[in-house]
Amino acid sequence: MEQTFIMIKPDGVQRGLVGEIISRFEKKGFSLKGLKLMSVERPFAEKHYADLSSKPFFHGLVEYIISGPVVAMVWEGKNVVITGRKIIGATNPSDSAPGTIRGDLAIDIGRNVIHGSDSIESARKEIALWFPEGVAEWQSSLHHWIYE
């Protein structure tokens, strides 16, 4: 099974959307393997977004992520990276379809509620960065009702 990193950004936490977002991944059939509420320090945020450091919006993005607590999660399931991105919606909420998290819950690109790994490789790197202690190893008793 594949794993992905999902982060509810400060605006999603402040707006009380944590439960709804978790519910969408659970209802799909994915398994929560790691979860923590945390405040992000600047050096850590800069490391997470290092691949965007040359972009003009990098400083603002870092300021946004350190502005309040985030919820960091690891989800597991078949094709969870690509399916997770579909659940989340396009980076720009105005380009996100209704029914997606960003399509339903966000308006501005700078307050787009959630981050999700965009590839298996980035998921591995992000999980290692955010969960160096590892994640829970368990299987839901519903597994056989979700997967063939």
Residues noted as catalytic:
115
Please give the torsion angle defined by the CA atoms of residues 58, 127, 14 and 95, in that order, rounded to the nearest 10 degrees: 60
Report how far Cα 71 is from the mean position of its chain's Cα atoms. Answer: 8
Q: Which two tokens stand for residue 84?
A: 């997770």
d(CA 75, CA 4): 5
Which residue ranges make up the annotated binding site?
Answer: 9, 57, 85, 91, 102, 112
Secondary structure E strands in 15-107: 31-38, 70-77
| N-term to C-term CA, the chain | 13
Tell me if residue 145 falls in helix, strand or coil. helix
Phi, psi at 145, each rounded to 5°: -90, -10
